[in-house]
Structure 1
Amino acid sequence: MSKKFGIICLTFICTLALLLSACGNDDNAGESTNGIELGQKELTIPYVSWASTVAGVNVIKAVLEDIGYDIELTQVTPGALFAGIADGSADMSVGAVTLPYTHESYWKKYGDQIDDIGITMKDSVTIGLAVPSYMKIDSLEDLTNNTNNIGKKLEKTIVGIDPGAGQMQLTKNKVMPGYNLDKWTLQATSAPAMTGALAGAIDDQKPIVVTLWEPHWAFIEWDLKYLKDPKNLFGEPDSLHAVARKGLKEDAPAAYKVLDQFHWTKQDMGKVMVKVHDGMEPIEAAEEWIENNQEKVKKWKKGLKTSK
């Protein structure tokens, strides 16, 4: 009887150990999140060095790492971002894909090769040519009409950002011809170089016209205005989209679910951007924002069990 009892006890202990082990695996954020598999744990997110994009990618990086992913951020050009997601060498993007106007040309080329997960910020992104408010011009037509001799004062130059940016292409190929600015130059630089030029001009109270978008910390830092666009060539406000390579939903289901539930406002983004502009490391600014906005972040993680 004692031998039989011992066998029963041993069987019970082994069974209990297996059950505990299985439960442990279910709770392990490195393997699954409450039944939704992590799948591929190492993911790459390309980004362009735009203030808005830097804010978005660092927030999503922190959120995804919280549930067990290993996220690599890679700085690229706008064209490389779309191409990389389309060919599968990069996994996803948040904060950079602006539709339907700004990145229309890229979407026509790559859209059918990319999974559009959905809108993360609806009708909140505006683009245009901006000037300091002290300048005595108010419309793109003032550039056309050379109001207050503005062409000479600016040497007929508009200071832009990355040459591959959708806003640059739209400005060069549609807006400038539409306002007969064929003798003007759209100077390609980078987002930091553009804001640097803007800061210098404002310090000296000199005229300058730049390609700019909102949300952007520059509108908080300085008193700026968009030049009116009576022909509406820059289009209506855009929306930011989360996109992914084809197959990510199957390869990394939990990450895809977070992206599908990821929504925030330009005010949210602005808070992260200002912190970064003031000198805080982007990931630290993102983590601070997350700590202060737990209810919103919980909605992004709905259905998932986090590792923290």
Structure 2
Amino acid sequence: MKHLSLGLAFAALAGSVHAAELGAVDEPIKLAVNEWTGQHVTTHIAGEMLKAAGYKVEYVTAGMMNQFQALADGDLDATLEIWSSNVSDEYAKKVAEGKVVEIGDLGLDAREGIAYPAHVADLCPGLPAWEALKDCAGVFATADTLPMGRLVDYPADWGTPGADRMTGFALPFKAVPAGSEGALITELRASVEKKSPLLITFWQPHWAMSAYDVKFVDLPVGNEACFTDPAWGPNPDAVNDCDFAPSRIFKAAWSGFEEKWPAAFEILSNYELAVEDQQPMMGEIDVDGGKVEEVVTAWMAANEAKWRPVVDAATK
């Protein structure tokens, strides 16, 4: 689905959102900072919007999977980039308990999957078809995985979606969790520079998708039956023999947020960010070495028409 430009979306919102009370401006709003660069960009833009409205903001480092207890307890006030394909059961539990509330989609068009740099197709003929991996797993083997191939999966606290696919498709690969997003990028860079084999769990939006010409393996389209019924899909003995479910990216807050900071709640609820805005900033940080704060500040100054209407609609 094509995404409206951020400016158009915000302009439309500005006409429909009503001004609200600011609330407890003397107390900082604590925003969760998770483990990947795109989330840092998302969160700092949100924080700068809140500051522009007159709020104090505190950025708090929090693990993606374990942040929801802190959110339920009010030790965190909001988290701005939750991926539906990678969210923990704890999130649903806290929402059901009424301690965490969902505050709308972020608006990023996203995809996750099993991927490889384009040159790897020469090393494993038949790609992008997933069946090709049955015959060339040995190409991806390392000393630690022999005789199985090696899949570099997400960091352990992001879940095990890559490992789940290897099991689901009965592919002879061992999934090895990366230590961080940076470790995933290091793997991609080394593979491209050396023209060496690499199979990796990855996602878009991400600057590395274009920088390293990353391609996704073609897997059967994911649906709920695939994740619950072993009989569905090419492997009758396992679930997860399909692609990742389409990712929805959304935001959540502590249940007391709206009452404590009404205008801030409206700002974060109506805040959206387009891939076209986020992805270049990720590249400025991860490729060019820019600091998150400086990159976001520059973007805010150059794109005021894209975010100011939401702040003004909530506060004036």
TM interval, short-chain normalised: 0.7 to 0.9
1:302 pairs with 291, 306, 312, which one? 312
Sort the Cα spacing of 1:299 and 1:229 in 2 relative to 1 into closer, same or farther, 3 A: farther
Instruction: Note the C-alpha offset of 1:94.
Output: 0.8
- The match for 2:156 is 163
Instruction: Show structure 1 runs of 5+ residues with no match.
Output: 1-32
Structure 2 distance, partners of 1:164, 1:72, is: 23
1:149 Cα deviation after fit: 3.9
Amino acid across the alignment from 2:299: W
Counting matched residue pairs gives 267
> Are the equivalent residues in 1 in contact too, given 2:80–2:250 (CA < 8 A)?
yes
Report deviation, 1:256: 0.6
34 and 78 in structure 1: CA distance in 2 versus 1, 3 angstrom threshold? closer
Tell whether the 8 Å contact from 1:130 to 1:226 is kept in structure 2 after alignment: yes
Higher share in strand: 1
**CA distance change for structure 1 residues 39 and 147 in 2, over 3 Å: closer, same or farther?**
same
- Matches for 1:1-308 after TM superposition, within 5 Å: 36-39=21-24, 41-95=27-81, 97-99=82-84, 101-103=85-87, 105-112=89-96, 113-121=99-107, 124-136=109-121, 137-143=127-133, 145-147=134-136, 149-152=138-141, 155=146, 156-165=149-158, 168-172=159-163, 174-181=164-171, 184-230=174-220, 232=222, 233-277=242-286, 278-305=288-315
SS of structure 2 residue aligned to 1:263: coil
Q: How far is 1:182 from its partner? A: 6.5
State the AA in 2 paired with 1:206.
Answer: S
Give the CA deviation at 1:170: 2.8
Distance 1:164 1:111, change over 3 A: farther
- Does the 8 Å contact 2:140/2:198 carry over to 1? no
Q: Which one is further off, 152-161 or 253-262?
A: 152-161
* Coordinate RMSD, CA, aligned: 2.4
Task: Give the SS at the match of 1:56.
Answer: helix
- Give the match's secondary structure for 1:164: helix
Query: What is the alpha-carbon distance in structure 2 between the residues aligned to residue 182 and residue 135 of structure 1?
Result: 17
2: CA distance between counterparts of 1:281 and 1:219?
21
Range that drifts further, 212-221 or 39-48: 39-48
Deviations 1:190-240 (A, max 9, x none): 111111121112111111111111001111321110111125334343221
- Cα deviation for residue 253 of structure 1 reads 1.1
Amino acid at match of 2:300: I
Does the aligned pair in 2 maintain the 1:117–1:244 contact within 8 Å? yes
Structure 2 letter corresponding to 1:120: L
Greater share of residues in helix: 1
Please say which of residues 251-260 and 271-280 is displaced more in the overlay: 271-280
Are 1:51 and 1:217, in contact at CA under 8 Å, matched by a contact in 2? no
Structure 2 unmatched runs, 5+: 1-17, 122-126, 223-241
Higher Rg: 1
Look up the SS of the partner of 1:121 in the other structure.
coil
1:1-58 C-alpha deviation (Å, 9 max, x unpaired): xxxxxxxxxxxxxxxxxxxxxxxxxxxxxxxx97622325311111212121011011
The verdict on how the C-alpha distance between 1:140 and 1:150 changes in structure 2, with shifts beyond 3 A counting, is farther
